[in-house]
Amino acid sequence: MFLLTGGKPQHTVNQFKNIGNQLKQRLGGEEASLLLSRSVYLISIGVNDYSSTTKGDSKQYRSMIIGNLTSVAIYKMGGRKFSFVALPPLGCLPSTKAQNARNKTNHEASCREDSTALVQEHNKAVSKNLDKLEKQLKGFMHSFFDFYTTFIDKICTTILCQSMNSSSLWEEEVSCNTNNNKAALFVFGDSLYDPGNNNYISTTNTNFQANFRPYGESFFTQPTGRSSDGRLIPDFICEYARLPIIPPYLKPGKHHFVYGANFASGGAGALDETFPGLVVNLNTQLNQFKNVANQLKQQLGDEEASDLLSQSVYMFSIGGNDYFSPTQQSYTQEQYRSMITGNLTSVIRAIYKTGGRKFSFITLPPLGCWPSIKAQNAANKTYSGDFCNKDLAALVQEHSKAVSEKLKKLEKALEGFKYSVFDFHTTFNDRMINPSKYGFKNGDSACCGSGPYRGVNSCGGMRGIKDYELCENASEYLFFDYTHPSEAAYQQLAKLMWEGSSSVTAPYNLKSFFHLSKLS
């Protein structure tokens, strides 16, 4: 194997010629020729040429580089098996981004687009020329490794979505869209989706906050405001869709909304009357989205912003908290359910009017058997046996059924409207009943909390009860605290939402939403 890389190509070839002559002297002409023809020639070259200040016309300069690379000197000496690597994403390397930051060109976290375009044209031209050589030169064989795509994939999925272990990293928004996928992710809802918006609400009530230890420690190593030991469903969907992890909308600082925004608020409901003053209700989240849409139009122009909004995915987790609000006592169950689903429908229509077409929903989880409910029932000695609240369980099912009917009507009424409903209730309930089947040791008690089932809201000792218990390994538990799943559970659910069959997510899964720009 001969490795030809770095320096000037002609010098490298001359060095190889010297080695070829030495081999002939040592082995004899016949044996040396046999060795050279069977050898593999690894070539990595071109990166430094594009760092030169003598580029001139890019097309002419590229032809010079490739012309010199594809000269057949090594072939004439006996070489037949050649290995090449595509140029890496030079515009996204730390050195380039650091220079952009110093010169205040592009955003410091963004890739330099002109360098990226140069590299892509170079790689395309090299591949085309190698194909020509294989047709022209007898016995010539080549391998061309797509360094560019594989490396930028690692930037997207590994650095951004898997290894962000500090707040400065996980909140950074970096462009990773290598497949020309223009779909962003806009998230609405409650604590199942809240990445920390409640950190920025002025209140002394901590019941709907999770910005203290041990929240977040399994992945982020510190609390972020997520009500779990690590990531939530939207974080995993970002990873699968090759988007950066989307930070809280309310977090101060500059946000690049071309990747989407997360408006979710722990404790929020579809109704304004659900925990007012303590959470960001759904109507307020809608207004925040409208502000983002206007900013995108100013930033990108009407046409490009409209294209982005129509291809984007809109995720919802909402409704559960409404059934814990004192407001429901003033209405019949049917009236109250109609109010919740009616407001949700009006929000969907407003987003549709703004340009949204692809919507993601989850059924309400089995709230009647949540650790918080069972702990309360055990303490009060109500609903004996498994201590699940049967009335609440039935109410949840009726709600999800009503939402499904609303979505079917919207699909018929709104042209281009597409939706996905993930059966959170059934999939999670099965994990509660059969935890070992899914890799969990415990499916009914929380990892962190106190009281029966660790269902008392005391995790972290910041909600009026200082003493609490904490398990050793949160990934062994389906629940992390009194009412929120663990990161391990969220990951399993997100995977089903992303690529699950129609038996769990229908009529579309999220993968189809992100990978098809237009659904027929």
Residues labelled as active-site residues: 191, 481, 484
Which residues, other chains included, contact 338 with Cβ-Cβ below 8 Å and sequence gap of 6+? 402
Nearest to 489 by CA among 406, 382, 370: 370
Neighbour-count burial of 214, counting CB atoms closer than 10 A to its CB (0-12 exposed, 13-18 middle, 19+ buried):
buried
- Please report the beta strands in 103-254, taking only residues with DSSP state E, as ranges in sequence order: 141-145, 185-189
Count Cβ atoms below 10 Å from residue 381 Cβ, excluding itself.
8
What Rg do the C-alpha atoms of the chain give, in angstroms? Answer: 29
Which residues, other chains included, contact 250 with Cβ-Cβ below 8 Å and sequence gap of 6+? 197, 199, 200, 201, 280
- State the DSSP H helix or E strand holding residue 505, giving kind and residue range, or none if neither: strand 505-507
Tokens found for residue 143 = 């391998």
Q: CA triplet 513, 514, 519: central angle to 5 degrees?
A: 40
Nearest to 346 by CA among 429, 256, 285: 285
Neighbour-count burial of 382, counting CB atoms closer than 10 A to its CB (0-12 exposed, 13-18 middle, 19+ buried):
exposed
* Helix, strand, coil % over all residues of the chain, rounded to 5: 50, 10, 40
Q: CB under 8 Å, gap of 24 or more: what pairs does 394-401 form?
A: 394/368, 395/323, 395/333, 396/320, 396/323, 396/364, 396/365, 396/366, 396/367, 396/368, 396/425, 397/425, 398/333, 398/337, 399/319, 399/323, 399/337, 399/340, 399/341, 399/364, 400/363, 400/364, 400/425
Distance from C-alpha of 13 to C-alpha of 73, rounded to nearest angstrom: 8
Which residues, other chains included, contact 123 with Cβ-Cβ below 8 Å and sequence gap of 6+? 86, 87, 146, 148
- State the DSSP H helix or E strand holding residue 397, giving kind and residue range, or none if neither: helix 390-413
Distance from C-alpha of 182 to C-alpha of 275, rounded to nearest angstrom: 36
Distance from C-alpha of 223 to C-alpha of 230, rounded to nearest angstrom: 9
